[in-house]
Structure 1
């Protein structure tokens, strides 16, 4: 797959990367996608020819799954998801997959501060930096040190019951809290920092980072927030009041959410981890002490990504001309 013919005229020319770099490099891949598995094996061989120490892991290691309603949630500490060989000595890691694999991979490497080069083998690839046909050039540039790091806010989400942490996870996109079924309305009590609690009646709520502002919260009517802004946003899902609208606040403010309803809630983090929340539980969010570190081969251009991936800013109507009609 490293020799896939270019499918775009924008693929930069390839040159020989530095010999025998001695770097420690990680590979995280989506093991349910054959193309990602094949590329990971070819990438191991390529990196070893450059003198790299290569460690591998699958994206499955970053998935906590969903706890059942019948059993209490199981606590897996945030740092416990880091693969054994992925330590502070690792120079960088390459993730092969789609956006879901990228989210899972950051849950695995962020506690060690390892930067990720995200290569798209999925569908949209909103969070990825390169396509498969660009991988040889991207690998050359990263091994030569020709890249920059873009840091993005991550959030630590925890479920607290009677003062004890029962479940926790890192979050790069969003935390969603709702009832089962989703169409049932619920009263959420939300406390942000030192401010007074507020009550929101809605089908659910979304607490999103700037990275997640282009995901579920965007579909629920929330604004797009550029990644460098240090904020979080609270978006009600189908609120029962015209006064219940989205709120943007500093990411340094801790958040606590509880429900006044007697029924259990469902919490989902980044779409691939979650658990049930019993009456009396609190869901707590705080800015994580370690950010997600994206490897960028050029200056990040967020508006360009919005235009290419989501069609933002494209003209949808014919523009007037100076030509006079007869």
Structure 2
């Protein structure tokens, strides 16, 4: 019996309703169905008195979500998609992302198109687009305090007020560099259209095998975004007397103390997006962000009498 999964945002009534309807539909077609909400991918925050507060990356998959699962459907917005991939990426499960949220930049289809997309998914008539994910780890001496999978970006900054921080950053075998800024963003190509875009970074087409480091409001004209091969691991040392805060994909994180180090590298677990039609990234940029829209012609000048 083939097996499918459903991950949904249980804070959205429409997602809860569609999840039950989808479950009944799959069961009636002879499929085994595993149902869960997206909360399992929300990793939470550690605290200074309890810095070790995380579930290992490989243990986040919900019961039944394993290598035998053909695909899973995720119902929600971009936040639910980010959470869902932390749950299914280690098992290699491809996701069909259905938008029940607002922006839906990461989603493949809408609710009114779900019946046709589901038929294609059950028949295996789709492409898989793989996106790079990151393994983010916090180390204190030889102890790993925290780790998470990341699809968009890792952000390191000071709290509670924005002020200048110093970071020593080492990319692969290259010499370390010192950057003074309000914070640091390390982004995947997928994340280049998220926080990194708001901070002035370039848009990177998802298939390009690179990462980018982007200082937030750097205190130097020479400190700008750096794009480099995703085979290079990155280690960030906070050169500050006070603690910093690290967040991953905007919904999980931990405190980083002056003697800690953050290590980021390409994860062996890619995010597998189900595409029921060939992916067209420029179309998504145009539809969601207005990129490349034609300019509106200016009215011709009219001479006044």
TM-score category, normalised to shorter length: over 0.9
**Pairwise mapping of residues 1-326 of structure 1 onto structure 2 (< 5 A)?**
22-318=1-297
1:314 CA displacement: 0.9
Matched residues in 2 for 1:97 and 1:82: separation? 18
1:247 CA displacement: 0.1
Matched residues in 1 for 2:123 and 2:46: separation? 44
Secondary structure at the counterpart of residue 239 of structure 1: coil
Any conservation in 1 of the 2:169–2:236 contact (CA below 8 Å)?
Answer: yes
Listed one character per residue, the Cα deviations across residues 91-121 of structure 1 (whole Å, up to 9, x for unaligned) are 0000000000000000000000000000000
1:74 CA displacement: 1.6
Matched residues in 1 for 2:303 and 2:120: separation? 54
Any conservation in 1 of the 2:237–2:262 contact (CA below 8 Å)?
Answer: yes
Matched residues in 2 for 1:255 and 1:203: separation? 19
Secondary structure at the counterpart of residue 43 of structure 1: helix
Where do 4+ consecutive residues of structure 1 move more than 6 Å? 323-326
Any conservation in 2 of the 1:28–1:56 contact (CA below 8 Å)?
Answer: yes
Count of residues in Structure 1 that have an aligned counterpart in Structure 2: 304
Unmatched 5+ residue regions in structure 1?
A: 1-21
Normalized against structure 1, the TM-score is what?
0.90
Secondary structure at the counterpart of residue 68 of structure 1: coil
1:80 CA displacement: 1.1
1:181 CA displacement: 2.7
Any conservation in 1 of the 2:43–2:54 contact (CA below 8 Å)?
Answer: no
Unmatched 5+ residue regions in structure 2?
A: none
Listed one character per residue, the Cα deviations across residues 120-179 of structure 1 (whole Å, up to 9, x for unaligned) are 000010000010111111111111111010000000000000121110000000000000
1:78 CA displacement: 0.2
Matched residues in 1 for 2:290 and 2:161: separation? 29
Partner of 1:16: none
1:69 CA displacement: 3.4
1:325 CA displacement: 9.2
Matched residues in 1 for 2:139 and 2:88: separation? 25
Any conservation in 2 of the 1:73–1:275 contact (CA below 8 Å)?
Answer: no
